[in-house]
Structure 1
Amino acid sequence: MKENKYDQPSFFEQYEKMSRSQKGLDGAGEWHVLREMLPEIKRKKVLDLGCGYGWHCRYAIENGATSVMGIDISKKMLQRAREINQLDGIEYQNHALEDIQFEPEMFDLIFSSLTFHYVKFYEALIENIYKWLRSGGKFVFSVEHPVFTAEGSQDWSYDETGAKLAWPVDKYFFEGQRCTSFLGEKVLKYHRTISTYLDVLLKVGFRIIEVKEPIPDAEMLKSIPEMQDELRRPMMLLISVEK
């Protein structure tokens, strides 16, 4: 199933209000960690899977990439990307990640931000990514953390006063579909364990370089009080590998 909520006007309207939509990478709590995991970008050919507004595409070109291909299933996302992040060297294409095809060893760096938990066939996509990368190429991506996705509701448990008690974790080892609520809409995601994310990468031949569970930086924790809750459970998993 290739669900695309982002082209629904009401959903996209809510997404536009998010900090990472309005402020770009400065509004993404994980960016200060993810940025340090990226390899040297200068003179590299880059593929961004699930590029959204194209903020990472812009970053790659501004840091010397030879070219960047941004892929996204949402036409509305790509329309906005072309409006605000259309620089020389960036090309955007409208495809589901499961449908794209490239020649072997086309890219030096493949990147993806918070996209693969929407993809049903993770292993098949990883196999393709391995083929598309040149020898020595890097693959860096982020997903929602399995602790965050396991139970399915993706919400805190609360006491009778409405205070947050804890983050529920249940059905962790039962991988597969989770129907959750995001921006006021029912959204289909796919839960996987940390072992699955890593073992599939090793199985196809990647060498793992780094695995990170980021927290917001000190400035964001100070300026946005609700960010303190991000210290109570992991929300994201960041992985860097090499072919």
Structure 2
Amino acid sequence: MAQNIYDTPEFFTNYSNLLRSQKGLDGAPEWPRLQTFLPGSLQGSRVLDLGCGFGWYTRWFHEHGAASVHGLDVSQNMLDRAREMTDPETYKGITYLRADLDSKDIPLLTDAGDGSVDMVFSSLALHYLVNLQELLAQAYRVLKPGGTFVFSVEHPIVTAPRVMGMIDVQIKDPRQAAGEGESEVLQRKIWPLWDYQVEGLRETNWLGADGVHKQHRTVTTYINLLLGAGFALTGFDEWCPREGELDGRPEWVNLREKEMVKPTFLLVRATKSKGAV
């Protein structure tokens, strides 16, 4: 079973205070770019939201035409909050169900008919899973030909270090030409890239909790798992803020210093061939 840290009271309280928990999609800086990976129209579609959390994306899909959206999450706290925020009269096509995405028997996924789903979506959940290969195979099976699997994960550069966090360093200015006297010393923040090629479990401290489990995979592994499942890679973005992208958002002022240093998220669109069976 996947670790369920979100049902730990203190951790859930800290998570609930995050900007993206408070403001939803408006608090998720990667959302505008991830949104471009979605199908041009969701009208009448059936969508699975894997790791739905508070249901921000689930509700957005319903608001933009999806006939049914099924949100799955391992955390009862997450699902309780999602249901509180989802008016049943307004969102009649939404259902929430507790499910362990690392299980071989995932409700509404393993029991879905072949080719019965238009889009499978997941935001920042797949990097928790051990059995990702099996999940991708199930997602491919249930998608209609031409259907899409859109997801985001923490970028492997973020998941690789066994001790996470920016480091302050002093380096000599490499731009200064040789022979011009002593090089100027620059103060820089760097993200240490440790053990990138060593895949597997990372136990990190996050939101005040020790031993938070995440699964580190390289970019190559993510791509090869998708290709091995039968998908075509049709969208790919190593998300890092672009120049000016954070302007006008004072709540993101701290992101300018740390997020410009590294790609933070990996955004992916994978498509099932229209000729697939």
Which of the two has greater helix per residue?
1
Q: Would you say the 8 A contact 1:213–1:238 is kept in 2? A: yes
Residue 57 of structure 1: aligned partner:
58
Alignment of 1:115-194 (within 5 A): 115-159=125-169, 165-186=189-210, 187-194=212-219
Please say if 1:2 is aligned against 2:10. Answer: no
Indicate the percent of aligned positions where both proteins have the same amino acid.
42
SS in 2 for 1:98: coil
1:64-117 CA-to-partner distances (Å, cap 9, x unmatched) read: 001000000000000000011342100000011123022222210000000011
Please say if 1:102 is aligned against 2:111. Answer: yes
Amino acid in the other structure paired with 1:176: G
Please say if 1:234 is aligned against 2:263. Answer: yes
**More deviation, 68-77/165-174:** 165-174
Q: Would you say the 8 A contact 2:233–2:269 is kept in 1? A: yes
In terms of Rg, which structure is larger?
2
CA distance in 1: counterparts of 2:134 and 2:206, whole angstroms: 26
- TM-score normalised by structure 1 residue count: 0.95
CA distance in 1: counterparts of 2:118 and 2:61, whole angstroms: 12
Q: Alignment RMSD, CA only?
A: 1.6
| Structure 1 residues 221 and 190, CA gap change in structure 2 (3 angstroms) | farther
1:41-70 CA-to-partner distances (Å, cap 9, x unmatched) read: 111100000000000001000000010000
Aligned residue pairs, count: 241
Amino acid in the other structure paired with 1:169: L
CA distance in 1: counterparts of 2:164 and 2:70, whole angstroms: 32
Aligned equivalent of 2:240, options 215, 220, 239: 215
- TM-score normalised by structure 2 residue count: 0.83
Please say if 1:205 is aligned against 2:234. Answer: no
CA distance in 1: counterparts of 2:102 and 2:4, whole angstroms: 13
